[in-house]
Amino acid sequence: MRITQGTFSFLPDLTDEQISAQIEYCLRNDWAIGIEYTDDPHPRNTYWEMWGNPMFDLRDAAGVMMEVRACRGAWPDAYIRINAFDSTRGFETVRMSFIVNRPKVEPKLVLARAEAQGRVQRYSMQTIIDTPVRGHP
C-alpha cells in the first residue's frame, strides 16, 4: 500500500534531481533542513528517528544530498523524509515535508476493531509491516 504523507506523495517518487531542486527551494527560503527515517509510517507516528542533527546555514543542496545518500545507505528499507523548518517568527514550524525514500514492500495500514463497554465498537489503524500471507487479500 502506497503511503501518502507530506508534499508530493501523490506523485511518482521524486528523482534525486527533483529532490535537489526542492531542497534548493527550501534553502532559498532560509529553512533549516532535517532528515528523518522510520519503519512505521502510521499517520499518528509523529516521532521519526533523526538522521544526524538538523542542518542550519547551508547554501547548496549538495550538502543535504550527501546526507540523504548516507541515510539511504544505512536504511535502504525505511521511509526517509526531509523536513524544512522555518524559524521565522510567527511560523516557527515545519513548512515543508516530503518523502525521499520508501521500502521496496510498503507496510499496510489495516482497520482494527476493539470491543469497548456495552458492545461499543472502537476502530483504530494499525501498521502491518510483514509481507502478506498467501490466501489473505
Partner 1 sequence: MNVAEAITQQPAAGVDLAADFRSSGVAEILDELDRELTGLKPVKRRIRETAALLLVERARQRLGLTTETPTLHMSFTGNPGTGKTTLALRMANLLHRLGYVRKGHLVSVTRDDLVGQYIGHTAPKTKEVLKKAMGGVLFIDEAYYLYRPDNERDYGQEAIEILLQVMENQRDDLVVILAGYADRMERFYQSNPGFRSRIAHHIDFPDYENEELLAIAETMLARQNYVFDDEAKTTMAGYIDARRAQPHFANARSIRNALDRARLRQANRLFETARGTVSPQELSTIRAEDIRASRVFATAATAEGDAAP
The grid coordinates listed for 26 are 527550501
Pick between residue 67 and residue 86 the one whose CB is nearest to partner 1.
Answer: 67
Pick between residue 58 and residue 109 the one whose CB is nearest to partner 1.
Answer: 58
Residue 58 lies near partner 1 (rule: CB under 8 A): yes
Minimum distance from residue 62 beta carbon to partner 1 (Å): 4
Residue 25 lies near partner 1 (rule: CB under 8 A): no
Query: Could you say which residues in the range 66-95 bind partner 1, by CB under 8 A?
Result: 66-67
**Identified binder of partner 1 from the candidate list 64, 80, 96, 100, rule CB under 8 A:** 64
